[in-house]
């Protein structure tokens, strides 16, 4: 199945490293012009060297107004991948108000902000579009030391369903992908200890963690016209964990 994004402009958050970086590069290989958001300058500079069709912008997505100001002149966007996210690992009993605010600011509020920015432009231009949110298996399941992270991801799944209802009549599709563990920087922090990794992997019928490319493929499918009848869904990329 060949997917082409020629003539499309895509905005990808959290594109400086990990899953988002791979999504940005693959979108560019499939013909899209990509606007890649992140913070780390070295990572963004090296991403910009990956291809002429990738433009990088540094912004702290935790800052709602700064994000709006920084993206004020990005022009028309057809595709959005809300991928930026992070975690603070701790037992629920240790969670502070500040940690809740930090996690919701990036993992949830920035998704609402970017989705508004992009859909306002789509609605104004009266054209369809596609939004994919990188949620997590953590939205469906309780995971130790992930209380607020799980909550942010569950909030994303709910957000996507309402967006699908409201934006469907305008041919704007909004979906989630919900991956299991991927051993990126973020994944390694939570799962490099075998005492945690072995029982987690044992819950996955396919008996392995996800590769970055497993998530990239699911995201590109949902962004593309091959998924033109799919909206409001949360697609597990979990090796069958939920089937068990
Ligand atoms: P990484 O830590 O590798 O990358 C996270 C990305 O998010 C980086 O580009 C980082 O930018 C960006 N980011 C974080 N905070 C901010 C901020 N305040 N402003 C702007 N950018 C920010 O993580 P992954 O690639 O693993 O994760 C990507 C997504 O996938 C996340 O939403 C995560 O929750 C989700 N996910 C990951 C899983 C895993 O096991 N890895 C499993 C399921 C879901 P910079 O470094 O430049 O600050």
Q: Given 149, 196, 201, 226, which residue is catalytic?
A: 149
159-166: average pLDDT: 98
Active site residue 149: yes
Ligand 1: which atom is nearest the Cα of residue 149? 34
Task: For 185-217, write each residue's pLDDT tens digit.
Answer: 999 999 999 999 999 999 999 999 999 999 999
Tokens of 143: 């995971």
Q: Is the dihedral of CA 59, 92, 148, 199 positive or negative?
A: positive
Helix, strand, or coil here: 234?
strand
Q: Given 153, 196, 201, 226, which residue is catalytic?
A: 153
Ligand 1: which atom is nearest the Cα of residue 62? 18
Task: For 95-142, write each residue's pLDDT tens digit.
Answer: 999 999 999 999 999 999 999 999 999 999 999 999 999 999 999 999
Q: How far is the C-alpha of 195 from the C-alpha of 104, rounded, in Å?
A: 28
Tokens of 167: 């934006």
Long-range (24+ apart) CB contacts under 8 A made by 139-145 are 139/176, 139/178, 139/234, 140/178, 140/234, 140/236, 140/242, 141/241, 144/91, 145/89, 145/90, 145/91, 145/190
Place 2 in a pLDDT band, splitting at 50, 70 and 90.
confident
Is the CB of 239 within 6 Å of ligand 1?
Answer: no
| C-beta of residue 209 within 8 angstroms of C-beta of residue 238 | no
Residue minimizing CA distance to atom 42 of ligand 1: 181
Is the CB of 60 within 6 Å of ligand 1?
Answer: yes
Q: Is the ipTM of this complex over 0.90?
A: yes
Is the CB of 150 within 6 Å of ligand 1?
Answer: no
Task: Look at residue 244 and tell me whether its pLDDT is greater than 90.
Answer: no
What is the per-residue pLDDT for 1?
Answer: 72
Is the CB of 181 within 6 Å of ligand 1?
Answer: yes
Is the CB of 38 within 6 Å of ligand 1?
Answer: yes
DSSP 151-207: HHHHHHHHHHHHHHHHHGGGTEEEEEEEE--B-SHHHHHHH-SHHHHHHHHHT-TT-
Q: How far is the C-alpha of 39 from the C-alpha of 37, rounded, in Å?
A: 7
Task: For 58-99, write each residue's pLDDT tens digit.
Answer: 999 999 999 999 999 999 999 999 999 999 999 999 999 999
Place 152 in a pLDDT band, splitting at 50, 70 and 90.
very high
Task: For 27-56, write each residue's pLDDT tens digit.
Answer: 999 999 999 999 999 999 999 999 899 999
Task: Name 42's Cβ contacts closer than 8 Å, sequence gap at least 6.
Answer: none
Mean per-residue pLDDT over the chain, rounded: 97
What is the per-residue pLDDT for 243?
Answer: 92
Residue 50 has a CB neighbour count (10 Å cut-off) of 16
Q: How far is the C-alpha of 115 from the C-alpha of 217, rounded, in Å?
A: 21
pTM: 0.98
């Amino acid at each position: 199945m060949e997917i082409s994004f020629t003539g499309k402009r895509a905005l990808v958050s959290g594109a400086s490293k990990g899953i988002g970086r791979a999504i940005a590069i693959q979108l560019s290989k499939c013909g899209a012009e990509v606007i890649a958001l992140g913070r780390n300058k070295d990572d963004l500079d090296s991403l910009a060297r990956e291809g002429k069709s990738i433009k990088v912008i540094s912004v702290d997505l935790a800052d709602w107004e700064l994000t709006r100001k920084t993206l004020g002149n990005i022009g028309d966007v057809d595709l959005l991948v809300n991928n930026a996210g992070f975690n603070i690992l701790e037992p629920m009993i240790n969670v502070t108000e500040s940690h809740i605010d930090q996690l919701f600011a990036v993992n949830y509020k920035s998704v609402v902000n970017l989705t508004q920015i992009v859909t306002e432009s789509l609605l104004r231009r009266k054209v369809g579009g596609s939004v994919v949110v990188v949620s997590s298996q953590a939205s469906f399941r309780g995971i130790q030391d992930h209380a607020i992270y799980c909550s942010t991801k569950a909030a994303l799944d709910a957000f996507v369903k309402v967006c699908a209802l409201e934006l469907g009549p305008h041919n704007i599709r909004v979906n989630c992908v919900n991956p299991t563990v991927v051993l990126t920087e973020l994944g390694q922090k939570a799962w490099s200890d075998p005492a945690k990794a072995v029982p987690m992997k044992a819950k996955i019928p396919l008996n392995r963690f996800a590769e970055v490319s497993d998530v990239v493929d699911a995201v590109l499918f949902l962004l593309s016209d091959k998924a033109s009848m799919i909206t409001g869904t949360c697609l597990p990329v979990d090796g069958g964990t939920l089937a068990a």
